[in-house]
Amino acid sequence: MSLTEQFIQQRQETLERYQNQGYQELHDFLQESGITEAQLLVAGWLETKGSLSTTELQDYQVSEKGQKFFKELKRYQLILVNEIARTQLLKLPELKTQHPV
């Protein structure tokens, strides 16, 4: 896959469509919540990719366990979280002590 201008534009348009449906990009959710990628990896909701190329935008993907929280759009290298999943994640005991007061 190539990170062409067309790809970036299509990715942004796709993200905006999902945002209009109440989804949030994982990166934005992590910044707001104080939860880290490392915590999600340890919990088994994300997993690292086996190999990376120079066109990869992230080095992890949604695990089978994480599919109940995250929607992954591999074509656009997007991981999204809907409002219900965001609320559930913030209530999980293994993540509770880490997000801001």
pLDDT digits (tens, 9 = 90+) for 42-82: 989 999 876 655 455 677 899 999 999 999 999 898 999 99
Q: Specify the 3-state DSSP secondary structure of 74.
A: helix
**Cα–Cα distance list, 20 to 11, 28, 64, 68 (Å):** 14, 15, 26, 20
**H-type helices in 1-101, by residue range?**
5-20, 26-33, 37-43, 83-91, 93-96
What pLDDT does 3 receive? 73
Give me 89's structure tokens: 């994640």
What pLDDT does 78 receive? 94
CB atoms under 10 Å from CB of 34, counted, come to: 14
Specify the pTM.
0.81
pLDDT digit string (tens) for 17-33? 999 999 999 999 999 99
The pLDDT confidence band at residue 101, using thresholds 50, 70 and 90, is very low
What pLDDT does 99 receive? 47
Kind plus residue range of the DSSP H or E element containing 25? strand 24-25
Instruction: Determine the residue type at 42.
Output: V
